[in-house]
Structures are given as structure tokens and as C-alpha cells.
Structure 1
Amino acid sequence: MSASIATPDLEEVTHLSAAPLEPWQVVVWNDPVNLMSYVVRVFRTYFGYSQERATQLMLAVHHDGHAIVATGPRETMEVHAQAMHDYGLWATVRKAKA
């Protein structure tokens, strides 16, 4: 007993397009544990920010409760958030607002 297997028509053309890459953000949140100088050092060491930029971001964390420290593809931002956790900072990943 043999069964017939349907095969696609070879003339059929399929158009594939990649979904647009939506930017994601790493948000570092304020905490009562880490010193401000330590947070600046983490931003400089990990992200390579200048002293001035790292200080601006740290002050945003301190005064506003959080700061967006990186934006990019989701997978990369998840790696950055994990690195912040490894440094003892509280970080989350969220979709960038349009």
C-alpha cells in the first residue's frame, strides 16, 4: 500500500522578509547598597563610557531612580543586563519606547 505525498509546486515563489529589529533598553535602577563611585566605575569599565557620561548616568540613577544605560538588539541588551547583575547592580531590559 503506497500513499501519495503532496509536494509544493516548484514554480511557487516565497518571499521572506525579516522582522524589523526593534530597539531594546537596559535600565539600571537605584539601590541602597552600591556607592555612587562604584556605579560610575562599572559604567566606565563595562560600557567604556567617559568619566563625564558615566557620572551623568549614575546621577540619573541616583536622582531619578533609574537610567537607560544602553539601547540595541534584545539579545545584546540581555547580555548587558546580566553583566550589570554580575556587578551587583539591579538592571532590567525593556522594549524602547517609540
Structure 2
Amino acid sequence: MSSVQGSTLTSEETDLSTTSLPQRPYQVVVWNDPVNLMSYVSWVFRSYFGHSEARAHELMLQVHHEGRAVVAGGAREKAEKDVTAMHQYGLQATLEESE
């Protein structure tokens, strides 16, 4: 045990460097492009992410009108996998830390 200014620290308190901190959430952003049809983008959102037809359409319109939409979120590894999948579908996508 370590002693700091007369107080005794437990092994839990001195072993903070090995304690994993909660992971920050990440989000998958799909960007507008001049190549893919809106119907195709909607289909990708439904088939890959499992979004309802209405939600997929809403996200597709957001991509079309605003230039981007957050289509998924979660742990970094999952979000990275989703971005890679979007690239394989031919969509432009990036990963961002959630605020």
C-alpha cells in the first residue's frame, strides 16, 4: 500500500491506470453524393441497419437535403464496422465521436 500525505491508499485506488474507463459513443455519418439513387440509399439503411421504411426514407432525405445524416451509433468498434460496410455498399461514410 502507498501512503500519500498520511493517508493510506488501497490497491484499488493505486491501480487506476489499469481500470478501463467507459467508452465514448461514436456515430456513423453518411454523406450525400452525386452517384447513388435515393431509393438505393434507403434500401441500404433498411437492409443493413434494420431501419423501418419510414425511418430509412427520413434519413435518406436528411442526407439528400442537409448533406449528411447520423444513421447509427454505439461503441467505436461497431461504428467502424458500420462505416466499412457503408463503403462496401458504395456510400460515403465517416465516424465521429458523439457529443
Per-residue Cα deviation, 1:37-84 (whole angstroms, up to 9, x for no partner): 000000000001100000000000000000000110001000000000
The structure that is helix-richer by fraction is: 2
1:13 aligned to which of 11, 14, 34: 11
2:87 aligned to which of 55, 61, 85: 85
The secondary structure found in structure 2 opposite 1:63 is helix
Q: Identify unmatched segments of 5+ residues in structure 1.
A: 1-11
Counterpart of 1:67 in structure 2 is 69
Counterpart of 1:7 in structure 2 is none
Query: Following the alignment from structure 1 to structure 2, what is the Cα–Cα distance between the partners of residues 17 and 63?
Result: 44
Calculate the TM-score normalised by the size of structure 2.
Answer: 0.83
Give the superposed CA RMSD: 1.2
Percent identity for Structure 1 against Structure 2: 56
* Deviation, structure 1 residue 13: 2.3
Counterpart of 1:40 in structure 2 is 42
Calculate the TM-score normalised by the size of structure 1.
Answer: 0.83
The number of aligned residues is 86
* Deviation, structure 1 residue 26: 0.4
Query: Following the alignment from structure 1 to structure 2, what is the Cα–Cα distance between the partners of residues 48 and 25?
Result: 16
Q: Which runs of 4+ in 1 moved over 3 A?
A: none
The structure that is strand-richer by fraction is: 2
Query: Following the alignment from structure 1 to structure 2, what is the Cα–Cα distance between the partners of residues 83 and 27?
Result: 12
> Which one-letter code corresponds to 2:74 in the other structure?
G
Query: Following the alignment from structure 1 to structure 2, what is the Cα–Cα distance between the partners of residues 72 and 86?
Result: 20
